[in-house]
Structure 1
């Protein structure tokens, strides 16, 4: 039934340097598929919308800054409902799975997928896969309906449970085929989306009429291409509480230092945005900007100067910052293949205490706050709830229109369908030569650490790891 997938990207070229990085369609590998009128045209809720259906040629540019002679550049297919669909409502057997770490908004996405399928397209069979990818072949499922997901957006976590690892492509696709599932919605980070791509490839190899759709999830906001990931706004908002607590503690005692560790394995977006929003932070350390401790322009010198000036200070550090300063290589991996990070928050706190005690400069009072798991577990805020709705409904529209092998994401403020391979390109990172990082440096007046004076750029103070009792933190 059909041939295997084309391993090359699906590109459509136009005039003036226009390139559409298109997503696969069921008709690419299953010929002569019937189409049906979109039931939304008879839905009274949408009767007031002018030109509700998206034009088949609509696309969204990846980059919107251009010069008068610039090529039109790369575009993605615009998300939204099409006039023709490739599934009848009664034939749809949908499945939803959540994988990886927790993130605000997971339950909202689940709710909106279920309600979108039911209310927009009349789909009555939606299964929730329990416990991540392994739930497919462990036969852990629950039936989902608008009634039993009605208020789950008010709770943190995921009602389906989650896990890392457990990806066995053959077993998963066998389960999908055996159960008669023909739409799969996969919510997870870059590793999960890579797993979704493998599922898509195996499904197309078998010639199955199954739409595989990804919804990107990472609290760190480190998925490439998209404007932001759901849960990020909530994480920044919740981080304010921890920063405020650290500020209160620090300013309430002589030479007080508040240290706050936030999420950010490879990317410091949460730490950067929380710092900019707070205005109470004196120094922000992120993975993209290496720092050093001793010598002119180093962290110790800055902390000492700030304490003499203000009598207190607040330091925010992302979990992935300063990992290069540790004395041992990190070989321990989690189930998803991610290196387990050393607890840089505890490490920097201990180093500050030891330095000021050793140098007898001044007595300090340091308070360390790690709100990581509290932030991950909260429900999404209003902004993220709306964003989750758009992501989920766009995913449903795409699957019903026969698109597959794509991730639903926001690009330049527009909902788009992005090929899986673009999501796996590597983490999105803070550009420390960009204006946003410059705004942060201007706000905190911290050293950039890009150039150390006196030739100390290679001098890194390292504390023995046994002081930290082997504390590690996993990927968020």
Structure 2
């Protein structure tokens, strides 16, 4: 198998019920073939490398409906589970999957698994929820998750037992890095048992830290909702002599929300993200830069990602959440305290704002809603064709299928030498480093 080869449950034996075309130029959308591939690395350097060496370029499988499908739709049972923290757009994806299965393929039995992977553990007693178009038709208007969520893993063998006991043919798992690793482990156990169950991941992480893919759903809404908060924080800062507003946003290991929010509402003067090393004290430290900013403009807006500055704490946090992630110490309150100490005796007003959970539970904006629906539809098409252990995603602005194992090898981070971060520095006017 090649690096980006998608696993299949077997040869498809059924004709798709979709009335699509195989002829170009007839104004009807064409079925997508497994041979339809898109080059992963589009750089001239890689192109020349392949020409010189004769290597076939690394390619991704194009997402979309196949002419031949693996499952007999009338006798197929699908299930949907949502795991991890809340994120805008989850309900849009649930709705899209249900509508796609029901109306595109005629799948009548669709189960909702309550409270994340806990719902696949019978000992928890959550049961299942039957999902119909009528039941989900309006859920996209609300934030959160219609099915409920939970963090943490469950026994993989028990979860697969539950899938088999309920004759579930397809499992759609909506979640981030931990969720995707979990559903891939479920897929491995299914393969060991030689069972014919497709597992599909739809990447959800508000931090936008899933590797390889362009963007996770919900991310755009997150910094969209954060933007007016930054505007109001700026109003607070300018409303006082030497006013300082500190806004803490999500971003455990990657600072994409903090950086993007600052770009979208360019009133921010400092952005601190987990990818950067910075010192507080000294002539080149952050506090000195803040001092100079106040002398010049008499106000400052600071945006800090939750995972930034953890190196500044004397004691490292050894506490982990249910998902196995290290619980970071509160950098926002720490900064407020240190800034207060630094300017002690001066006329400085500090306001600290943490809108994280308001942002997490917001409904998806229009752009994210479109993205969620398209991710859901492509996930449905891939699953019905018998593909498994893949994520429905967008790479190089094209919808593709990527093996789950490839997107979970590491977290995506801001490239501190990249143009995106340089844009942030140009917007804020902050130096390249405070080391």
Shift of 1:51: 4.2
Instruction: Determine the C-alpha separation between the residues in 1 that align with 2:153 and 2:310.
Output: 28
Q: Secondary structure at the match of 1:393?
A: helix
Report the RMSD for the aligned CA atoms in angstroms: 1.5
- 1:219 equivalent to 2:206? Answer yes
Instruction: Determine the C-alpha separation between the residues in 2 that align with 1:312 and 1:222.
Output: 32
- Of the three residues 105, 108, 113, the one matched with 2:92 is 108
* Cα distance per residue 1:356-391 (max 9 Å; x no partner): 10xx4x311010000100000000000000000111
Instruction: Determine the C-alpha separation between the residues in 1 that align with 2:208 and 2:311.
Output: 22
2:337 corresponds in structure 1 to 350
- 1:378 equivalent to 2:357? Answer no
Shift of 1:34: 5.6
1:94 corresponds in structure 2 to 78
TM-score after normalising by structure 2: 0.95
Q: Secondary structure at the match of 2:245?
A: strand
- 1:35 equivalent to 2:13? Answer yes
Instruction: Determine the C-alpha separation between the residues in 2 that align with 1:305 and 1:48.
Output: 65
1:29-428 matched pairs, under 5 angstroms: 33=11, 35-41=13-19, 50-67=28-45, 69-71=48-50, 73-138=57-122, 139-357=126-344, 360=345, 362-428=346-412
Q: Gapped runs of 5+ residues in structure 1?
A: 1-9, 12-19, 28-32, 453-476
Instruction: Determine the C-alpha separation between the residues in 1 that align with 2:173 and 2:29.
Output: 30
Instruction: Determine the C-alpha separation between the residues in 1 that align with 2:103 and 2:181.
Output: 30
* Cα distance per residue 1:193-236 (max 9 Å; x no partner): 01111100111111111111111110000000100000000001
* Cα distance per residue 1:406-428 (max 9 Å; x no partner): 11110011111111111211110
* Cα distance per residue 1:79-119 (max 9 Å; x no partner): 10011011111111000000000000000000000000001
Shift of 1:283: 0.4
Shift of 1:180: 0.3
* Cα distance per residue 1:423-469 (max 9 Å; x no partner): 2111100000111111211221112226x4xxxxxxxxxxxxxxxxx
Instruction: Determine the C-alpha separation between the residues in 2 that align with 1:112 and 1:375.
Output: 22
Instruction: Determine the C-alpha separation between the residues in 1 that align with 2:72 and 2:362.
Output: 37
Confirm or deny: 8 A CA contact 2:244 2:348 kept in the other structure.
yes
Distance 1:332 1:247, change over 3 A: same
2:53 corresponds in structure 1 to none
Q: Secondary structure at the match of 2:372?
A: helix
Instruction: Determine the C-alpha separation between the residues in 2 that align with 1:235 and 1:249.
Output: 21
1:22 corresponds in structure 2 to 5
Instruction: Determine the C-alpha separation between the residues in 1 that align with 2:42 and 2:231.
Output: 36
* Cα distance per residue 1:307-332 (max 9 Å; x no partner): 11111010000000000110112111
Instruction: Determine the C-alpha separation between the residues in 2 that align with 1:350 and 1:245.
Output: 22
Shift of 1:162: 0.2
1:432-451 matched pairs, under 5 angstroms: 432-449=416-433
TM-score after normalising by structure 1: 0.87
Q: Gapped runs of 5+ residues in structure 2?
A: 51-55
Instruction: Determine the C-alpha separation between the residues in 1 that align with 2:201 and 2:422.
Output: 34
Instruction: Determine the C-alpha separation between the residues in 1 that align with 2:9 and 2:117.
Output: 23
Confirm or deny: 8 A CA contact 2:251 2:257 kept in the other structure.
yes
Instruction: Determine the C-alpha separation between the residues in 2 that align with 1:259 and 1:393.
Output: 40
Count of residue pairs brought into register by the alignment: 423
